[in-house]
Structure 1
Amino acid sequence: MADFPNIDTDLLRTFVAIADHGGFTRAADVVNRTQSAVSMQMKRLEEDVLQCALFKREGRSVSLTTEGLLLLGYARRILKLQGEVFSTLRKPHMVGTVKIGSPDDYVMRFLPGVLSRFAQDYPLIDVEVHCEPSSQLLQRNDLDLTIVTRMPGSEMGQILRHERFVWMVAEGFSPHEQTPLPLAMFNTDCFCRTWACNALDNQQREYRVAYTSASLAAINAVVSTGLAVTAQLQSLLTPNLRIIGEAQNLPELPSASIVLLRKHSGATSPIIECFADYIVEGFKL
């Protein structure tokens, strides 16, 4: 048998994070390392371990070479098998289902990384994700874990992070100069819509909710074309949008707290608490 060098799974985990998140900077946040440490890891993987180029670098953009694409499939399989080994042999009780509720915006921004890391470590646990506004989630008692938005001072449960609500428009467009102000907001009773409308009412700014949807992706699609202004969490800002505010005669919006709630009955389990830990870490990024 050929004497091949060992491939450190930490290197593979970082490599997969770069492939999934499109670059070294975002991957560094995901694997909780500095960007320079990530670069050193990949240099070691390319030069010392595999002795081939895995990335094509063009300015700040990074893509995978043919060898990199080939490694990606193997890396996913290796990490998945590693997770199954630990789940089966070290934690055989970590098998089951966890139900989580979250607003759509948090699902898009934070949960992909959380779910990816959790699935790698605990592949035998099934996760049910229920997307509803915070006001509706607070009425449910069938969820193991619930992520909701609360006003500062009215928090309950475990605080995941504090966020600013901000006004956003598309780069190159100025719908905020229109009267009445066109808004694109969620079509359900949600905190961000209520807070945005209350702030405009207090300023006596004329507005209309011109576009509504239950989907953050749909709202962003409308805003990206320059048709309306929206108010969302600052962390949901995408590269094609920009923040506006007092300089554009828009009122300041309140901050919000994102909190994690356990099942109302107080019942918990190692599976629920384990997944809760992954959520807490995921919302720090």
Structure 2
Amino acid sequence: MLYISEIDQLSNYPSIDTDVLRTFVAIADQGGFTRAGELVNRTQSAVSMQMKRLEEDVLQRKLFERDGRQVRLTPEGQVLLGYARRILKLHSEVFNTLREPHMVGLVRIGTPDDYVMRYLPGILKRFSKAYPLIQIEMHCEGTPILMQRRDLALTVVSREAGNEIGELLRNERMVWVASPCFCVDEHEALPLAISGMDSFCTQWARASLDAIGREYRLAYHSSNGAAIQAVVGAGLAVTVMMESLVTEDLRILGSDEGFGPLHTVNLRLLRNPSMSSPITECLAEYILEGFRL
């Protein structure tokens, strides 16, 4: 409960408009004022003015470090970013709950199955607690197939640098992975387990091995991430995967065993404009937050 003195104290603080916070978050996510302006439908000069007022008049703290066209958050900016995401999430929940008190419906989302194992449980648990009457239909397939579908409201995909689309969820370092019992030196031709013959991750793996002259063979192929992980966990092959997906029963292979670094992959969220609704937009915000935790 807030007492009168506490309410008076709160009233002395300046307020921050949610539109300003939304612009601030867009800058942090996009890495620049111009791209953020496109996202929030404002000019670059309007975005700059908003942030100048936020820094100088409201918070009196420097929030950005500028390096040419690139923008990075200061430590104070990082602190504000965490609060901004929480405030915008609560703001969205208030409007969705009060304007749509009976949030009922079906949302179809698509995602590769390995993301389901790592990220989706926590996201869906929080979402279903807030909106228990919304039904979620999940479709787990590889990114190339998901990209062709038009019946999904929200889709999580992986993209290589320079080929980005949608909204950034997180950047992930790809790593070489094997079972603790797998001995690299015992194999004249390194057995590989891959999730897609033509995926850019497979191309990265093969190019990395070709570059060092390491012989290999494509021993296992499955579009199911759990199947690939089971094969690797059994010590039958090595694979490449996102660092955050490496479980305790696997180990990362490094340069001491002859494995060079791999590229970074972008996880992106795609929204289907033709299926947009308060429900899908609300779930999208939960997904954006969940992947960044």
Partner in structure 1 of residue 265 of structure 2: 256
1:96-151 deviation digits (Å, cap 9, x = unpaired): 01111111111111111111111111111111111111111111111100100011
Note if contact 1:133-1:188 (Cα within 8 Å) is conserved in structure 2: no
| Corresponding position: 1:173 with 2:182 | yes
Distance 1:235 1:148 in 2: 16
Q: Which residue type is aligned with residue 153 of structure 1?
A: G
Deviation at 1:87, TM superposition (A): 8.8
Q: Given the superposition, is the C-alpha separation of residues 140 and 250 from structure 1 closer, same or farther in structure 2, using an over 3 Å criterion?
A: same
Note if contact 1:166-1:253 (Cα within 8 Å) is conserved in structure 2: yes
Deviation at 1:215, TM superposition (A): 1.8
Note if contact 1:169-1:242 (Cα within 8 Å) is conserved in structure 2: yes
Partner in structure 2 of residue 220 of structure 1: 229
Distance 1:216 1:256 in 2: 16
Partner in structure 1 of residue 76 of structure 2: none
Q: Which residue type is aligned with residue 282 of structure 2?
A: C
Note if contact 1:87-1:124 (Cα within 8 Å) is conserved in structure 2: no
Q: Which residue type is aligned with residue 183 of structure 2?
A: S
Question: The residue matched to 2:208 in structure 1 has which SS?
Answer: helix
Partner in structure 2 of residue 135 of structure 1: 144
Aligned length: 199
Question: The residue matched to 1:281 in structure 2 has which SS?
Answer: helix
1:158-194 deviation digits (Å, cap 9, x = unpaired): 0000000000111133246512111112155433223
Distance 1:172 1:186 in 2: 22
- Counterpart selection for 2:157 from 130, 148, 171: 148
Distance 2:98 2:265 in 1: 42
- Counterpart selection for 1:244 from 253, 260, 270: 253
Distance 2:201 2:106 in 1: 31
Q: For structure 1, list consecutive stretches of 5 or more residues without a partner in the other structure.
A: 1-85
Partner in structure 2 of residue 269 of structure 1: 277
Partner in structure 2 of residue 231 of structure 1: 240
Deviation at 1:222, TM superposition (A): 1.4
Q: Which residue type is aligned with residue 117 of structure 1?
A: R
Q: Which residue type is aligned with residue 282 of structure 1?
A: G
| Corresponding position: 1:103 with 2:112 | yes
Distance 1:260 1:214 in 2: 20
Task: State the 4+ residue runs in structure 1 displaced beyond 4 angstroms.
Answer: 86-90
Partner in structure 2 of residue 278 of structure 1: 286
Instruction: Report % sequence identity.
Output: 53
Question: Structure 1 stretch 113-122 or stretch 191-200: which is displaced more?
Answer: 191-200
Q: Which residue type is aligned with residue 270 of structure 1?
A: P
Deviation at 1:93, TM superposition (A): 4.2
Q: Given the superposition, is the C-alpha separation of residues 176 and 96 from structure 1 closer, same or farther in structure 2, using an over 3 Å criterion?
A: farther
Q: Which residue type is aligned with residue 257 of structure 2?
A: Q
Map of 1:38-57 to 2, 5 A cutoff?
Answer: none
Distance 1:261 1:88 in 2: 24
- Counterpart selection for 1:115 from 124, 136, 143: 124
Distance 2:96 2:135 in 1: 13
1:2-56 deviation digits (Å, cap 9, x = unpaired): xxxxxxxxxxxxxxxxxxxxxxxxxxxxxxxxxxxxxxxxxxxxxxxxxxxxxxx
Deviation at 1:205, TM superposition (A): 2.0
Distance 2:126 2:222 in 1: 30
Distance 2:271 2:233 in 1: 36
Q: Given the superposition, is the C-alpha separation of residues 176 and 225 from structure 1 closer, same or farther in structure 2, using an over 3 Å criterion?
A: farther
